[in-house]
Amino acid sequence: MYPAQLASPYLDRLSAAAAQRYKALGIVRDDPDRPMKIAALNSEAFGAPVVLFCYLDRTMGPGQWGDAGMYLQTVMLLLRAEGLHSCPQVMWTMYRKTVSQIVGADDGLVLFCGVAVGFEKEGVPRLRTGRADMTETVSFIGV
């Protein structure tokens, strides 16, 4: 799902975001069953009734992978316009063979990610995962 040698600051941000998200779902960091519980929640699409699977033609390159991210962002915004919520899930790529069998995707397609879609559960405290400050993530050149 991620580069094998994911270094700082990316790895730190990834684990901080995961810690926040899964703590909000009741899974604490020192729980010995944490990996299993995280996998279970993800495989249940966090309770959403629908998962979209986004595939790219295997011949596509980095530019087209960027296009797919932008495309999915638009899909997610359109879902909000319909009152729905969504959650991209790259975790499905760990089970790409099974997913491809079920949805009937051939070897010419590569799974980018799943997107869980559903209505927000009411009464659950809202969590917005922390974001790194823009001064850390963006360089304005010539300003």
Give the footprint of ligand FMN on residues 103-132 (CB under 6 A).
113, 128-129
Q: Which of 52, 60, 79, 91 binds ligand FMN (CB under 6 A)?
A: 91
Distance CA 27, CA 36 (A): 10
Q: Rule CB under 6 A: is residue 53 a binding residue for ligand FMN?
A: no
Report the Cα 41 to chain-centroid distance in Å: 13
- Give 63: exposed, middle or buried? Use CB within 10 Å, 0-12, 13-18, 19+: exposed
Q: Which residue number has the CB closest to ligand FMN?
A: 91
User: H or E stretch including 87?
Assistant: strand 85-89
Of the candidate residues 19, 68, 87, 99, the single one contacting ligand FMN (CB under 6 A): 87
Contact by Cβ (8 Å): 109, 53: no
Smallest separation (angstroms) from ligand FMN to the CB of 20: 8
Cα 100–Cα 101–Cα 107 angle in degrees, nearest 5: 55
Total residues contacting ligand FMN (rule CB under 6 A)? 10
Q: Which of 51, 88, 109, 117 binds ligand FMN (CB under 6 A)?
A: 88
Q: How far apart are CA 105 and CA 111, in angstroms?
A: 9
Among 13, 16, 19, 21, binds ligand FMN (CB under 6 A): 21
Nearer to ligand FMN, 75 or 105 (CB): 75
Query: Which positions touch ligand FMN (CB under 6 A)?
Result: 21, 42, 87-91, 113, 128-129
